[in-house]
Structure 1
Amino acid sequence: MAAAFNQTFSPLAEKLIHKFLKKEAVIGVVGLGYVGLPLAVEKAKAGFRVIGFDVQQTRVDLVNQGSNYIGDVVDSDLLQIVNERKLVATTDYSLINEVDAVTICVPTPLDKYQQPDTSYVENSAKEIAKYLKPGMLVVLESTTYPGTTEEVVKPILEQSGLKCGIDFFVAYSPERVDPGNKHFNTKNTPKVVGGISWECTKVASTMYKEVLEGEIYEVSSPAVAEMEKIYENTFRNINIALANEMAILCNKMGIDIWEVIDAAKTKPYGFMAFYPGPGLGGHCIPIDPFYLTWKAREYNYHTRLIEVAGEINNSMPDFVVDRLISILNTKKKPLNGSKIAILGVAYKKDIDDYRESPVLKIIDILESKGASFVIIDPYVKSFKHDGKRYETTEISETTLQDADITLITTDHSNVDYQMVIQHSKLILDTRNALKEHDVHLENYFRL
């Protein structure tokens, strides 16, 4: 394999590829969150020495203690690679001087004007630029708008005096983390890679091939890879918006949306089932499409479908509260003064991630309308929202009986739903969580 490279690649590229193949490269990972830590663990498990960088001392200390804080990482895997010194974490970015390749896995949020905040990416690139050396590979994995790698990251790195594609290599490879997915994870999910140059792409692909089991799919540029990631999440955003809009209409028409979807998905072609819910959560689907909306303005294009989908999905917490009001009215109960038992604050089932959870907006609305609530979530013991700390409680007969209505907002698997059915006065199920249970209650309502 190495012999074939001799005729094709520059000496710097050939040297780095050889290091990857021999597992002699030292790899850095900037950002040890939901994306970075699982990636760092897989790289270490593959036989590389890995240095993890993070600005949060707490995270660094936990990693160096072998204490896991990410659901998609196996506790024993982290402890083993830390004990074997295959993975160390630090806040000292000068140690980038020791790595041969570095992957950037930092947040890319939206600001209050729904514009991309690339400050974390920029700051990471600036730190790397200080210690950039010839022959190093830099890969951006953070989800962002098309053009970020070439227009933001590359110029910052070239402030080092080195030339991209000649002295060092740059590529974009979008993360595809799906928290809680039992079948696909960092290790076996196909990876898309697009480099600044053909050689950059091949160098980055070689690294991932030595770490991951999933297919490595090469594209012609970072912009293609960046757009691919946005397209993935926009596809889901829009289809979920369609399901949500159908749910609203079906409610008005007295039709069961869940039965409609079950019937539609019997078609073996041309249909993919998406489901309604209380709104979108997580760091990807509610946010990523708006990177594209922002970038499209540069080309004098208005992404109407994306924005309408966003409006529909963002309105779902209001629709849920309207349904609560309507259901409580059947018992001559106003929302003001009512007590709601909320089952779930995590944005999806069987995880502890509540970033951008629609439940946060629901509790804001409930508080503004004078309702009280308790929150039950077996995965989230407490959470912070708008500067306020909220504690969750354990599910119990008393908690359910004391509430005027139970609102199921997350369909966790480890909830005793028979207890919910037996002891709730009213139930509004926004996730169809009770679909496997024999529920024939007058007081049971679905979204």
Structure 2
Amino acid sequence: MPADLAVIGLGHLGLPLAQAATAAGLTTIGYDPDPRAAALPGAGGPLSAAEVRRLIAAGFRTTTDPGALGRVRTAVLCAPTPLDEDRALDLSALAEAARTLATRLRPHTTVILESAGYPGTTEDVLRPLLEAGSGLTAGRDFHLACSPARHDPGNRTHRYRNTPKVIGGLTPACTEAAAAFYGRLTDKVVRARGPREAETAHLLETNYRHINIALMNEMAVYCHEIGVDLWDVIRCAETKPFGFQSFRPGPGVGGHATPLDPNLSPPRSRSTGAPLRMVELAREINDRMPAYVIQRCTTLLNEHGKSARGARILLLGVTYKPDLADLAGTPAREVAARLRTLGAHLTYHDPYVPQWEVDGRQVPRAESLYDAASAADLTVLLQPHRTYDLQGLAVKAQLLLDTRGATPTGAAHRL
């Protein structure tokens, strides 16, 4: 059966798009070669189980049959592009998705890239694969564009509808075809000069976040060393009505959006410009934060006559973002691994994570939060979920380290 849209890749990018398209009345199918992803479990993913049920009830259907891709008007590539061992984006899943689509691609179809990529990915990686596999020419026989995903999980203010979409097409006609599609899903469409400009806008947005968090992480270490209350500094600074945007330090930077250096991209799309030194420095600073948290933990224990070896340590909130079940890139894993190496006895509590393992070993889950906090030698708040009564936890915990500055002033030791 023909469909308005095929979402290729049913992960943290694809499902929010499918949800928005279905809500807008578009007949939407989801394709994923992984049967587990196509089954839409709704546990720990970008959509809750209730949202998945509503999506299916609205007519959304999934498939592992690539033949369904030959009967759609628009195809959006949302394949994962994780970091590889060299900290470069792994485009292999995206390339495979492009090859799968190419053999079913029909003339006049609009193909859009939402997966994270380097500047040049649409033209230098995606376009050759689509043309070689289909025998069609992009910009003449089918429309090709890039519109980097902008999805902030758990954000109750900025949803798909009121978040502008940046679009850069291979040709002006490609841009307009993509704009007509997204115009049904969002209130504002922003036209870039081309795919590279759209891709580079995503690179700028992602690196902006990581660089500013790195600055705050450095400030956290600096302020602790000179005895200044960083959180009061932030409170004062964010009253400036211009030239300042508030960010917060933490135990590390998680999430799906990773800092990108285009000089690490595959040769076909590699930048010929100067390396982004700020990005590399920001990555180094942010990657040091789990070790700094361990340093603060051991210092606090020592000050209270205890050693990390044999200490009972409770980790609170192990997801990468508050009030979500997503564990992507969470710094809690490295914090836990380092504490285990020191010989600490770990437990964790997270209302969104019923089971958690680190380096292939289960971490025991505390069933009674207050009992666990009172029994632990040290409680470390890594993610301040709304369900946590932080004032109550501060009273119950023997020793509390707040890595997010979420507890009331004076209630805990803060990063």
Distance 2:85 2:292 in 1: 23
Matched residue, 2:168: 194
Matched, 1:208 2:190: no
Distance 2:101 2:364 in 1: 39
- Answer yes or no: is the 8 Å Cα contact 1:72–1:185 preserved in 2: no
Q: 1:53 aligns with which of 31, 47, 62?
A: 31
- Answer yes or no: is the 8 Å Cα contact 1:278–1:317 preserved in 2: yes
1:34-433 to 2 correspondences below 5 Å: 34-62=12-40, 68-69=42-43, 73=47, 78-84=52-58, 86-159=59-132, 160-212=134-186, 214-284=187-257, 287-291=258-262, 294=265, 298-299=271-272, 301-433=274-406
The Cα shift of 1:38 comes to 1.5
The Cα shift of 1:368 comes to 1.0
The Cα shift of 1:398 comes to 1.8
Provide Cα deviations, 1:349-406, integer angstroms capped at 9, x if missing partner: 1111111111111011111111111111111112344334445333422211211011
Tell me the secondary structure at the aligned position of residue 288 of structure 1. coil
- Answer yes or no: is the 8 Å Cα contact 2:167–2:178 preserved in 1: yes
RMSD: 1.9
Distance 1:290 1:382 in 2: 34
CA change 1:91–1:388 in 2 (3 A) is farther
- Answer yes or no: is the 8 Å Cα contact 1:146–1:292 preserved in 2: no
Matched, 1:27 2:5: yes
For 1:152, the aligned partner's letter is V
Tell me the secondary structure at the aligned position of residue 375 of structure 1. strand
For 2:283, the aligned partner's letter is G
Q: Which has the larger radius of gyration?
A: 1
Provide Cα deviations, 1:127-151, integer angstroms capped at 9, x if missing partner: 0001011111110101111000100
Matched, 1:445 2:408: no
Distance 1:130 1:384 in 2: 40
Distance 2:199 2:107 in 1: 25
Tell me the secondary structure at the aligned position of residue 136 of structure 2. coil
- Answer yes or no: is the 8 Å Cα contact 1:165–1:197 preserved in 2: yes
Tell me the secondary structure at the aligned position of residue 382 of structure 1. coil
Provide Cα deviations, 1:242-281, integer angstroms capped at 9, x if missing partner: 0010110111101111111111111111111111111100
Which deviates more from structure 2 when the two are superposed, residues 264-273 or residues 221-230?
Answer: 264-273
Provide Cα deviations, 1:104-149, integer angstroms capped at 9, x if missing partner: 1111111111122100110000000010111111101011110001
Distance 2:249 2:51 in 1: 36
The Cα shift of 1:60 comes to 2.0
Tell me the secondary structure at the aligned position of residue 111 of structure 2. strand
Tell me the secondary structure at the aligned position of residue 378 of structure 1. coil
For 2:403, the aligned partner's letter is T
Provide Cα deviations, 1:418-440, integer angstroms capped at 9, x if missing partner: 331121111110101213xxx54
For 2:235, the aligned partner's letter is D
Distance 2:234 2:334 in 1: 26
For 1:289, the aligned partner's letter is L
The Cα shift of 1:416 comes to 2.3
The Cα shift of 1:59 comes to 2.9
Unaligned runs of 5+ in 1: 1-23
Provide Cα deviations, 1:310-351, integer angstroms capped at 9, x if missing partner: 110000000000001111111111111111111110111111
The Cα shift of 1:94 comes to 1.1
Distance 1:414 1:173 in 2: 35
- Answer yes or no: is the 8 Å Cα contact 1:230–1:292 preserved in 2: no
Number of aligned residue pairs: give it: 411
Tell me the secondary structure at the aligned position of residue 356 of structure 2. strand
- Answer yes or no: is the 8 Å Cα contact 1:143–1:288 preserved in 2: no
CA change 1:71–1:297 in 2 (3 A) is closer
